[in-house]
C-alpha cells in the first residue's frame, strides 16, 4: 500500500500562547484514503500507441488451448488404430483356421472376456456352459442327481450369454460354472472343468440317487418373474412355446 505524508507546522510551545519565537514542529502521518488510486494503473502507464502495439504484435509463445491438445490426441489415437488395420491386420491371415462344428466329444462352451489388451479384472474370468444331455451321465437317476447337485447353476433353458442358438432343443437343461477368484485365466478354467468332472462323477455314483428329493426350481421362477414376460405362469418356464409348436394344420395349403 502506498502512503502519502502530510506535514503540519505547529508552534513548539503550545501551552504558552504568548511564547515568542518562530520555531515550528513538523508532524507527519499516513492515510489509506490518501494512498488509494483514483485512476486504473493501465490507464496511467499505457497510451493509445501501447494498446495498438499489444493488439498487433505476434505473441512469443504460439500454442493452442487445452481443447486443441485434446483434439490432437484423439486424432493421434485414431491414426494409431488405422495404422494397425493397414499394416498389422493382414498378418493375421497366417493364423486363419477353417470352422469345424463342435461334436459330442467337445461339448463344453468356454466364454472369456477381453478388452483389446487393456488390463481389467474381468479378463481372468472363465465361464463353462454345457448341456446336460451332452454329459456322460449313465441313468435318468444320475441326471436327476446331477441337477440337484448343480443347484442354481442349472437352468432348463440355455443362458443368454452362452452362445447357444435359439433353435437348440433344451432337453434336460444347461449348467453354467464360472470362476474368477484365481490369479490366472487358465487356473480359473481348470477349476471350473474339475468341478464339472466332480459333479459328473458324484452323479454317477449309485450309492444314493436322491430319487425322492424333488427338483428345486425357485431360482428359475424368480428369474422368470423378474423378467416380467409371463413365463412363470401356466408352466411356461419349463416348456415355453416356440415356432415348432405352431399347428401345421393352420398353415395355408395344409388342409
Quote the pLDDT of residue 204: 92
Q: What is the pTM for the complete model shown?
A: 0.57
Q: Is residue 51 within 8 Å of 42, Cβ to Cβ?
A: no
pLDDT tens digits, 152-162: 999 888 888 88
pLDDT, tens digit, 9 for 90 and up, residues 117-142: 788 888 999 999 999 999 999 899 99
Q: Where are the domains of the chain?
A: 109-210
End-to-end CA distance of the chain: 107
**Which value, in Å, is the radius of gyration of the alpha carbons in the chain?**
44
Q: Is 175 helix (H, G, I), strand (E, B) or coil?
A: strand
* Alpha helices (H) along 41-167: 41-45, 48-56, 66-83, 140-150
The CATH classification number of 109-210 equals 3.30.160
Rounded-to-integer distance, Cα 198 and Cα 192, Å:
10
Which candidate, 167, 159, 123, 146, places its Cα nearest to that of 215?
Answer: 146
The CA distance from 254 to 41, in Å, is 99
Amino acid at each position: 500500500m502506498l502512503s502519502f505524508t502530510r506535514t503540519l507546522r505547529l508552534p513548539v510551545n503550545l501551552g504558552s500562547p504568548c511564547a515568542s519565537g518562530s520555531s515550528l514542529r513538523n508532524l507527519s502521518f499516513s492515510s489509506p484514503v490518501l494512498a488509494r488510486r483514483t485512476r486504473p494503473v493501465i490507464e496511467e502507464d499505457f497510451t493509445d500507441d501501447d494498446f495498438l502495439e499489444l493488439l498487433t504484435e505476434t505473441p512469443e509463445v504460439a500454442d493452442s488451448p487445452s481443447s486443441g491438445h485434446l483434439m490432437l490426441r484423439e486424432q493421434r489415437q485414431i491414426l494409431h488404430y488405422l495404422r494397425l488395420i493397414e499394416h498389422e491386420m493382414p498378418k493375421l491371415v497366417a493364423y486363419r483356421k477353417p470352422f469345424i462344428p463342435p461334436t459330442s466329444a467337445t461339448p463344453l462352451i468356454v466364454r472369456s472376456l477381453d478388452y483389446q489388451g487393456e488390463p481389467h479384472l474381468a479378463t481372468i474370468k472363465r465361464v463353462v456352459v454345457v448341456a446336460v444331455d451332452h454329459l456322460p451321465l449313465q441313468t435318468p437317476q444320475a441326471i436327476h442327481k446331477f441337477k440337484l447337485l448343480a443347484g442354481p447353476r442349472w437352468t432348463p433353458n440355455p443362458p443368454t450369454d452362452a452362445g447357444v442358438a435359439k433353435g437348440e432343443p433344451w432337453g434336460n437343461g444347461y449348467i453354467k460354472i464360472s470362476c474368477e477368484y484365481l490369479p490366472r485365466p487358465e487356473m480359473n478354467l481348470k477349476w471350473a472343468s474339475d468341478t464339472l468332472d466332480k459333479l459328473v462323477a458324484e452323479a454317477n455314483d449309485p450309492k444314493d440317487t436322491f430319487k425322492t428329493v424333488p427338483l428345486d426350481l425357485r431360482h428359475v421362477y424368480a428369474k422368470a418373474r423378474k423378467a416380467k414376460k409371463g413365463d412363470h405362469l401356466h408352466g411356461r418356464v419349463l416348456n415355453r412355446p416356440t415356432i415348432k409348436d405352431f399347428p401345421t394344420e393352420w398353415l395355408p395349403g395344409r388342409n
